[in-house]
A and B are shown apart, each in its own frame.
Chain A
Amino acid sequence: MKRALPVLAVVATAMFALAPFYIMQAPIEATMGLVQKIFYFHVPSAMMMFVSTFVCGIASALFLFGKRERADRVAVAAAELVVMFGLIVLVTGPIWARKSWGVWWQWDARLTLSLLLWMIFLAYLLVRKYGGPGSEKLAAAMALFGMADVPFVYVSVNIWRTLHPTTSVVPTLQRSMAGPFWFSVAAFAVLYILLLTLRVRLAHQQADVERLYLIANED
C-alpha cells in the first residue's frame, strides 16, 4: 500500500485537474441552467459519503465482534471522511437548491437523512473524543446503528414525494452528461482511497505512540 500512495496522489491530482474541463464541456441543463453543474461534484461527494458510512459500519462491526484492533482505526478514518464529504454535500446542495428551487433547505426525505447521517458520524467523533476510556466501543456501536439507518434513506425517498430528483436520474443520464459525471465519480473514488489510506496510517502511528509511551513509562 505504501508504494501505491504516491501513484494514487498523482492520479487523484491529475483527475481533479482535468475534471473542471470535462465539466465545462458538458451541456447545460434545460430547467436548472448553469447551476446544475454543481451536480458533478455534489453527487460524487454524496456517493463517497455513503460508501464511507458503510466502510465505517463494517469496520466497526469487525472491531466489536471480530475484536480486531486494526479495524477500529479504519473505522475512525472512515468516520472522519463521512463528516468531511458530508460537509461538502450539505453545503454544495443548498447552494444548488437556492438557485434552482428557491430555498436553501427543504425537509424532504433525502436531505433530512443525509443531514442526520452526517450528525450520527459527527456524534461518533464526539464520543471518541469526549467519552473517556473505552469510548471506541461506544462509537463503534454508534457507527453500526448509523449504517443500519442508511436503508431507511432509500425507502423514504420512494415513499415521500420530494423535490429532490429521484434516484433513477443517474441511469437515464444523457450520454453527453454521463461522461463528465462518471469521470468525477472516478476522481472522487481515487481521492477517497488516498485519504482513507493516509488517515489510517495516522491512526496506526497514533497507536504506536501510545504503545511507546507505555513501554517508556515501564522503565
Chain B
Amino acid sequence: MRASVRCVLRRIAPLLAVAAICLVVVAPVFAQGGPQPPEGFVPVTEVPASEQLPAAPLVMGAYAFVWVVLVVYLWSIARRLTKVQAEIDRLVSRLDKGA
C-alpha cells in the first residue's frame, strides 16, 4: 500500500473508529424491531415543584460520581505512564552506559 494512502488512512482511522463504534452500539438497539409504543419516557412541560427537590441531590450526586471516576481513571493512567516512562529512561541510560 502506498505510503501516502496509509498516512491518510491513519489520520481518518480515529474518525472511522468513532463511526464504527456508533454503528455497533446502535445496531442491536434497532435490531429489536420497529418502533413500539413508548414504554419508558414521555416528556412533559410542567412538573410539580414538589417533585424536583428530592431528586436534585441524587442527580447531582450521580453526575459528580461519573466525573470523579473518569478523573481518577485518567489520573491513574497518567501516573502509570510517567512511572513507566521514568523506568524506560533509566534502563536506556543504563544500557547506554554499558554499551
Q: Are A and B in contact, CB atoms below 8 Å, in the complex? A: yes
> Could you list which residues of chain A lie within 8 angstroms of chain B, going by C-beta atoms?
1, 3-4, 7-8, 20, 26-39, 41-42, 45, 47, 50-51, 54, 84, 87-88, 91-92, 95-96, 98-99, 154, 165-174, 176-177, 185-186, 189-193, 195, 198-199, 201-202, 205-206, 208-209, 212-213, 215-216, 219
| Cβ contact within 8 Å between B88 and A29 | no
| Cβ contact within 8 Å between A88 and B55 | no
| Cβ contact within 8 Å between A174 and B52 | no
Greatest chain A CB density within 10 A among B10, B25, B52, B56 is at B25
Encode B18-52 as 1/0 by CB contact (under 8 A) with A.
10011011001110110111111111110100011
Q: Categorize the interface residue count of chain B.
A: 35 or more
B58 contacts partner chain A, Cβ-Cβ < 8 Å: yes
| Cβ contact within 8 Å between B59 and A34 | yes
- With a cutoff of 8 Å between Cβ atoms, the chain A residues found around residue B55 in the complex are 33-35, 99
Please name 14 pairs of A and B residues whose Cβ atoms are closer than 8 Å in the assembled complex, sorted by A: A29-B43, A29-B44, A33-B55, A35-B55, A38-B62, A39-B41, A88-B66, A154-B28, A166-B32, A167-B28, A171-B32, A173-B38, A193-B17, A208-B88
A-B pairs, top 3 by smallest CB distance, nearest first, are A165-B40, A27-B43, A30-B44
CB distance from B29 to the nearest CB of A (A): 5
B3 contacts partner chain A, Cβ-Cβ < 8 Å: no
| Cβ contact within 8 Å between B22 and A195 | no
- With a cutoff of 8 Å between Cβ atoms, the chain A residues found around residue B42 in the complex are 29-31, 174
Greatest chain A CB density within 10 A among B35, B41, B54 is at B41
- With a cutoff of 8 Å between Cβ atoms, the chain B residues found around residue A185 in the complex are 22, 25
Please pick, from A96, A177, A195, A199, the residue contacting B62 in the complex, using a CB distance under 8 A.
Answer: A96
Measured between alpha carbons, how far is A190 from B39 in the docked complex, in Å? 30
Measured between alpha carbons, how far is A169 from B80 in the docked complex, in Å? 40
Please pick, from A41, A186, A193, A206, the residue contacting B84 in the complex, using a CB distance under 8 A.
Answer: A206
Supposing A28-B43, A33-B51, A165-B40 touch, asked if A189 and B18 sit within 8 A by C-beta, the answer is: yes
- With a cutoff of 8 Å between Cβ atoms, the chain A residues found around residue B43 in the complex are 26-30, 174, 176-177
Measured between alpha carbons, how far is A173 from B65 in the docked complex, in Å? 26
Supposing A35-B58, A92-B62 touch, asked if A212 and B51 sit within 8 A by C-beta, the answer is: no
Supposing A30-B42, A34-B52, A212-B92 touch, asked if A167 and B63 sit within 8 A by C-beta, the answer is: no
Please pick, from A32, A38, A206, A209, the residue contacting B91 in the complex, using a CB distance under 8 A.
Answer: A209
- With a cutoff of 8 Å between Cβ atoms, the chain B residues found around residue A54 in the complex are 24
Please pick, from B37, B47, B51, B84, the residue contacting A205 in the complex, using a CB distance under 8 A.
Answer: B84
- With a cutoff of 8 Å between Cβ atoms, the chain B residues found around residue A87 in the complex are 69
| Cβ contact within 8 Å between B39 and A165 | yes
- With a cutoff of 8 Å between Cβ atoms, the chain A residues found around residue B21 in the complex are 51, 189, 192-193
> Chain B residue with minimal CB distance to A150?
B28
- With a cutoff of 8 Å between Cβ atoms, the chain B residues found around residue A3 in the complex are 11
